[in-house]
C-alpha cells in the first residue's frame, strides 16, 4: 500500500509541473495588461513602469515563471495586484468556505443519489424506475443559477426562512453558518445527486446480474441483505470515482452558485481575479485546484481497495 501511494505521488510531480507551465503561460496570452488595469485612467508612463517593476512584469516570461514557481515551493503565491494582500492568506481564508460548501453539497448528493439509484435498479423497468430516472434527468438539466434564484425567491423572499445571500463563519455562529450555506449547498447538491443516482443505478444493475449475487440469493438470504451487504459494496466503486471527481469540481470553485449567493469562496475569488486581470490569483486558484484533484484521485484509488478486496492484489 505504501509503495502504491509513493508511486502515485511520484507520478503527480510531473503532472503538477506541466499544469503550472500551462497555467502560467496560457494566462499570459490573454488580452489586456495588468499594469494598465491597475494604473487607472490616463496613467503616466512612469506609473506604468513602476507597476511593472513592482510586480516583476518587466522581466522575460521564463524569468517570471521560475520566480513564481520558486515562490510557490516556499509557500509564497505572490501578492494580489487588486487587493495588495498575500495570495497565500487569501487562499487560507477562501478555501475553508468552499470546502464546507462542497462537503455539504456532496453529503446531500450522496444521501439522495445512492438510495435513489439503488431503488431504481431494484425496480428496473417499472414506473418507479422511470420516475426516478426522470427526476434525475431534471436535476441534471436545471441550470444552477436559475435554481439558485428560484430558491432565493421562495425561501428567502416569499417565506423569509433563510437569507438570500452572504456568509457567516462557523466559528462566529454555527446556526447562522448553516442558514447561509443551506441554499447554495442544495443547489450544488441537486446536480451532483442526479449524477450519483444515474451511476449508482447503472452499476447496481450490472452487479445484481453477477454470479455471487445469485449465489447469495440461492443460499436463502433476504433480499435486503443481498442488496446492501453483497451488491451495494461492489456497486459503489464507480460511484466513488464519480463522487471524488465531482467533489474536485466543487472545490475548484462553484463559480455561478457562489456569485448568485455572494459566497466568498474559490469561485468568487477566481472571477474577481479574471475581471481585474489579477493573474497571480487565478494561477494560484487553478494550481490549488489541480492539487486537490490529485489528492482526491489518490483517495478514490484507496477507497477502491477498501470496498473491493479483490483489487488488493
Domain coordinates of the chain in residue numbers? Answer: 2-73, 91-312
> For 231-241, what is each residue's pLDDT tens digit?
777 777 778 77
Q: Are 269 and 96 in contact (CB under 8 A)?
A: no
> For 7-30, what is each residue's pLDDT tens digit?
777 877 888 888 888 888 877 776
Mean pLDDT, the chain, rounded, equals: 80
pLDDT band at 252 (very low <50, low <70, confident <90, very high): low
> For 46-83, what is each residue's pLDDT tens digit?
777 777 777 777 777 788 888 888 888 888 887 787 77
The pLDDT, as a whole number, for residue 10 is 81
The answer to whether the predicted template modeling score (pTM) of the entire model surpasses 0.95 is no
Answer whether residue 312 shows pLDDT above 60: no
Q: Are 260 and 149 in contact (CB under 8 A)?
A: yes
Give the residue among 101, 114, 141 at the shortest CA–CA distance from 258: 101
> For 94-149, what is each residue's pLDDT tens digit?
888 888 888 888 899 889 888 888 888 888 888 888 888 888 888 778 887 788 88
- Separation CA 240–CA 248 (nearest Å): 12
DSSP 152: I
Instruction: Enter the CATH code of domain 91-312.
Output: 1.10.3720.10
pLDDT band at 152 (very low <50, low <70, confident <90, very high): confident
Look at 205-214, 215-224, 301-310 and tell me which has the smallest mean pLDDT: 301-310
Asked whether the CA dihedral 18, 19, 22, 28 is positive or negative, the reply is negative
Amino acid at each position: 500500500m505504501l509503495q502504491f501511494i509513493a508511486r502515485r505521488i511520484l507520478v503527480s510531480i510531473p503532472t503538477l509541473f506541466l499544469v503550472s507551465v500551462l497555467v502560467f503561460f496560457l494566462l499570459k496570452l490573454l488580452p489586456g495588461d495588468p499594469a494598465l488595469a491597475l494604473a487607472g485612467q490616463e496613467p503616466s508612463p512612469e506609473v506604468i513602469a513602476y507597476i511593472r517593476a513592482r510586480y516583476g512584469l518587466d522581466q522575460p516570461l521564463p524569468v517570471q515563471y521560475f520566480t513564481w514557481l520558486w515562490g510557490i515551493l516556499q509557500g509564497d503565491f505572490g501578492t494580489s495586484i487588486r487587493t495588495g494582500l498575500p495570495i497565500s492568506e487569501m487562499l487560507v481564508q477562501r478555501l475553508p468556505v468552499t470546502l464546507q460548501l462542497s462537503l455539504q453539497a456532496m453529503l446531500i448528493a450522496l444521501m439522495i443519489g445512492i438510495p435513489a439509484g439503488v431503488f431504481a435498479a431494484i425496480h428496473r423497468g417499472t414506473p418507479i424506475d422511470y420516475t426516478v430516472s426522470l427526476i434525475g434527468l431534471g436535476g441534471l438539466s436545471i441550470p444552477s443559477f436559475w435554481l439558485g434564484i428560484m430558491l432565493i425567491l421562495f425561501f428567502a423572499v416569499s417565506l423569509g426562512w433563510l437569507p438570500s445571500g452572504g456568509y457567516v463563519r462557523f466559528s462566529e455562529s454555527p446556526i447562522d453558518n448553516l442558514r447561509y450555506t443551506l441554499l447554495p449547498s442544495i443547489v450544488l447538491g441537486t446536480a451532483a445527486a442526479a449524477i450519483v443516482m444515474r451511476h449508482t443505478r447503472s452499476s447496481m444493475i450490472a452487479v445484481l446480474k453477477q454470479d455471487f449475487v445469485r449465489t447469495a440469493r440461492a443460499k436463502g438470504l433476504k433480499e435486503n441483505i443481498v442488496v446492501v451487504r453483497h451488491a451495494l459494496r461492489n456497486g459503489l466503486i464507480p460511484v466513488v470515482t464519480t463522487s471524488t471527481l465531482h467533489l474536485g469540481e466543487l472545490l475548484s470553485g462553484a463559480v455561478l452558485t457562489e456569485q448568485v449567493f455572494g459566497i466568498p469562496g474559490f469561485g468568487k475569488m477566481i472571477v474577481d481575479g479574471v475581471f481585474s486581470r489579477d493573474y497571480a490569483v487565478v494561477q494560484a486558484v487553478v494550481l490549488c485546484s489541480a492539487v486537490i484533484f490529485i489528492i482526491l484521485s489518490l483517495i478514490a484509488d484507496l477507497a477502491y481497495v477498501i470496498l473491493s478486496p479483490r483489487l488488493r492484489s
